[in-house]
Amino acid sequence: MDPTTGLQLLLLAAGAIGVAAVARRRGWPAPLLLVAAGLLVSPLVPAVPLEPELVLYVFLPPLLYSAALDSSYLRLRDVKRAVGLLSIGLVLFTTAVVGLVVHLLLPDLPLALAFALGAIIAPPDAVAAVAVGRRLGLPRVSLTILIGESLFNDATALTLYRVAIGAAVGGAVSLWEGVYEFLFAAVAGVGIGLALAFVFAWIFRHTRDSLVENTLMLLIPFAAYLAAESVHASGVIAVVIVGLYLGYRMHLRGFGTRLVSDAVWKVTDFFLEAIVFALIGLQLVTVIEGITGYSPWAVAGYAAAVLAVTIVSRFVWVFAVTFVVKALRRGDAGPTVAQTVILGWAGMRGVVSLAAAFAIPPSVPERDRAMLLFLTFTTVIGTLLIQGTTFPALIRRLRVSSEQEQYEDRLAEAAAQQAALEAGLAELERLVGEQGEPDEIQKQVIDQLREKSWRRSLTAWERLGGGTGQGGAETPSALYRRLRREMLQAERRVFVRLRDERRLDDEVLREVMAQLDFEEAMLER
């Protein structure tokens, strides 16, 4: 890589992080602002190529793994039917509908390439929708369905894409061959994912080192993806299976591993997502320059038609499936109309679609390839800017909220804290009884342990009232946290002053600061 390209990538990363930082400060959806910023600056800066291999082999595996690691296997199991209908059924339906419409609009385009376009734009990317939904309190079941769909739909779409492209450039592919390839990719992906999950779980049982374990975790998504893709299985499914398995067993790791892992993957997600969404917008000039031989109005009409069909097909599928499921499961209320509308509108496309379009082989005629890339780009941009910008208003308008869920969560946490407190105190009393009569210093330590346990339980119960007592006054736990934070700041100032006066070494300062930081982190929690 020459220095100019390196500088270009460095400026891209710095600019993307800056825009994402503004979005976070303002409380705006970062993906949408990044795409808009990329569109605005695209004509003003040199072209930044979107390499399909970079997206599919570098960006996609860690983003999938992080999402799977942070997901709930139990909640996904509860909504497995909905996830399957969206990640498999809806992708097949969208591929077929878009492919047929495109073939009618562009009869000179081979049918296989029309279906390839359908597969390219079929899988939504739930990053933007989930970010908005979490911020506005979307119910947990809706968020779980969106996350589950985004975890598995890429596997379906990329398999269909490979079959369609193979038919376009290599001759006819029978239905049975396509079904076999799809089933093999899915089953082999699950098998490879489970095998690697067991291997890494065994390794983690013998490491007990937070730094080593988290370094290995950075390699896991790439290892799973490459292992599966090397045998033509689904790398997406393999990565997701490993992430779900290890995330479900994260409680077996040490506290240091969990603390570091949380920070590592938050930083990784923020960095990669910022670059990915900025790259989408920056492709504007590259995509437009490739279109030749069509009138601008005709191209705009094709793009609008494909975008409309993509959005409408999701609504048709979601409402039809919801109606059928309710009819078959009488007595089961199922999702409300408001929840169904929100699920239907959460169909923003992302960088995987764009990467697949850029990966169309050169053997496809340049004119057809340019049209597929343009229609993919306009669909991705259209769904992000139209659906993404209106998604928050839709949630507010329909008044879909998770307030009751949040109250039930706090109630369950308080009850669990109470049960854990009783178990901890019982263990403390047993240990005290075994060691005999404690002296005065030991009594003080034991009293401090009892007090700390009671304070944790009290905090959980007080959280049910939002941190305020009667008349809006601070609860004892809220007062404790506020005063202790101020004390920690004062303590930090003393340590820094002593370091500046050369009475304390920097290494000692870092150790002390880490202790204070952990305590403040506990106060935040």
Domain ranges, ordered by start, for the chain: 3-401, 404-466, 474-525
CA distance 377 to 76: 31
Q: Per residue in 79-92, pLDDT tens?
A: 899 999 999 999 99
* Distance linking the first and last C-alpha atoms of the chain: 44
Confidence of residue 402 (pLDDT cuts 50, 70, 90): low
Please give the pLDDT value at position 471: 53
Confidence of residue 166 (pLDDT cuts 50, 70, 90): confident
Confidence of residue 456 (pLDDT cuts 50, 70, 90): low
Q: Per residue in 13-30, pLDDT tens?
A: 999 999 999 998 988 888
CA distance 484 to 462: 18
Please give the pLDDT value at position 171: 63
| Dihedral over alpha carbons 171, 172, 173, 174 (to 10 degrees) | -160
Kindly report the pTM of this predicted structure. 0.84
In contact, 476 and 458? CB cutoff 8 Å: yes
CA distance 471 to 15: 47
In contact, 147 and 131? CB cutoff 8 Å: no
Work out the average pLDDT over 195-202.
96
By three-state DSSP, how is residue 293 classified?
coil
Residue with tokens 């059928």: 324
By three-state DSSP, how is residue 391 classified?
helix
Residue 285 identity: V
As a residue count, the chain comes to 525
Q: Per residue in 359-382, pLDDT tens?
A: 999 889 999 999 999 999 999 999
Compute the mean pLDDT over every residue in the chain, rounded to the nearest whole number. Answer: 86
Please give the pLDDT value at position 332: 60
CA distance 403 to 423: 30
Please give the pLDDT value at position 460: 63
β partners of residue 169: none
Please give the pLDDT value at position 505: 85
Share of the chain residues as helix, strand and coil, in percent rounded to the nearest 5: 80, 0, 20
The DSSP annotation for 73-134 comes to: HHHHHHTHHHHHIIIIIIHHHHHHHHHHHHHHH-TTS-HHHHHHHHHHHSS---HHHHHHHH
Confidence of residue 173 (pLDDT cuts 50, 70, 90): low
Q: Which has the closest alpha carbon to 160: 212, 215, 120?
A: 120
- Residue 5 vs residues 44, 322, 355: alpha-carbon distances, Å: 17, 49, 20
The DSSP annotation for 342-379 comes to: HHHH-----HHHHHHHHTS-TTS-HHHHHHHHHHHHHH
What CATH number labels 3-401? 1.20.1530.20
Please give the pLDDT value at position 35: 93
Q: Which comes out higher in pLDDT, residue 129 or 299? A: 299
CA distance 176 to 275: 39
Please give the pLDDT value at position 403: 60
User: What are the φ and ψ backbone dihedral angles of 126, each rounded to 5 degrees?
Assistant: -85, 5
Confidence of residue 133 (pLDDT cuts 50, 70, 90): confident
